[in-house]
Structure formats: C-alpha cells, structure tokens
C-alpha cells in the first residue's frame, strides 16, 4: 500500500511543478552544490567537468544554456 500512495503522490508533485515554472536558481541542486564548492575551493578552470554536468542538467530541464 505505501508504494501505491508514493506512486500517486509523484504525479501530483509533477503537476505542481508544471503550474509554477522552475526557477534556474532552484534547478539541479545536486550538481549546483558540487559545482559551486569546486569553484570556490579550486577555481573555475579546475571544475570544467562539474560546470558542464550542471549545464547538461539544466538543459535536460528545458533551460537554454
């Protein structure tokens, strides 16, 4: 029974996301956090792979980057 309620909750969450457009600042928090930490610690030049991974995630959500 819990799997049924979890499965039914997912579409409701997706519907809520469709009504309110996702802001770029809130998209891809996992890749953003790692990217930002790397840039602060090592500098932008050393984090190109993480920067690209974040861009790919943003593009996958429909942002034009």
Q: Could you tell me if residue 34 is inside a domain?
A: yes
pLDDT tens string 4-62: 444 444 444 444 445 688 999 999 999 999 999 999 999 999 999 999 999 999 999 99
Q: Could you tell me if residue 53 is inside a domain?
A: yes
Q: Could you tell me if residue 4 is inside a domain?
A: no
Q: Count the domains in the chain.
A: 1
What is the domain extent for residue 46? 29-61
38 annotated among ligand-binding-site residues: no
How high is the pLDDT of residue 55?
97
26 annotated among ligand-binding-site residues: yes
Render 1-55 in DSSP notation, one character per residue: -HHHHHHHHHHHHHHHHHHSPPPGGGS-HHHHHHHHHHHHHH-GGG-HHHHHHHH
Q: CA–CA separation, 40 vs 50, rounded Å?
A: 13
């Amino acid at each position: 029974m819990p799997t049924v309620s979890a499965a039914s909750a997912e579409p409701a969450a997706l519907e809520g996301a469709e009504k309110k457009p996702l802001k770029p600042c809130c998209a891809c928090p996992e890749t953003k956090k790692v990217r930002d930490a790397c840039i602060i610690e090592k500098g932008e030049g050393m984090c190109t792979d993480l920067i690209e991974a974040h861009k790919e995630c943003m593009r996958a959500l429909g942002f034009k980057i």
